[in-house]
Amino acid sequence: MASLVSFLGELLMTAGVVLGLFVVYSLWWTNLLADRAADRESDRVREQWEQEIEGAGVPGKLDTKDGIGFLHVPAMDDDQILVKKGTDPKVLDDGAAGYYTDPVRATLPTSGKNGNFSLAAHRDGHGAKFHNIHKIHEGDPVVFESKDRWYVYKVFEILPSTSKFDVGVLEKVPEKSGRKKPGKYITLTTCTPMYTSEHRYIVWGELVRVEPVDDRRTPPAEIRGS
């Protein structure tokens, strides 16, 4: 009997070690790989922008597989988040935020049209770019940086939990946000609670102004903290 108890104890200890290694892989190793991939892609996007501005490159379409810009959310303590097309694993697992193309297509801010610039990113693992989304409060800024414009949004509503099938949060007029009329909105979506994918956490913002990008790419005051 004692030997059986000892064997079961060793088995549980081994299972615990395996589980611990899996957690390390899921949360640390995938973050490391995703951050490296995102950094490489971010550098490439900025290099391409510089070439296009200087006239040395061939202008490309905005809606491509390449990064379309960068998201800056001071409340999440993240300097910049690369934004790309789509929300499939090939995009999000490489440490980027992706704009929705399905089931409701996002309206890009660069179009100048009313609509909802809806985005998704991982909360845990694979870069975890929206890990600190719970630190965002109403009134906080969310800034999207394109090649030649800064789009400054102000957060006006937060939905801490909703069904992962709730596509209404992505609509051009997201009524659960309290808005009833067309406008220029941004929506951040990610999984909740932490370390699960059971529900979705939603943050809504509305465009308050657009600034041109100067030669030094001086960010808006909201990013500079002044």
Q: Which residues are catalytic?
A: 191
Q: Is-contact 163 176, C-beta < 8 A?
A: no
* Closest to 191 measured CA to CA, from 142, 137, 126, 130: 130
- What the block records as the tokens of 196 is 């699960």
H helix or E strand, kind and range, residue 17: helix 2-24
- For the four alpha carbons of 146, 79, 136 and 95, in that order, the dihedral sign comes to positive
d(CA 184, CA 211) in angstroms, rounded, equals 15
Q: Coil, strand, or helix at residue 51?
A: helix
User: Between the CA of residue 93 and those of 72, 98, 189, what are the distances in Å?
Assistant: 19, 10, 15
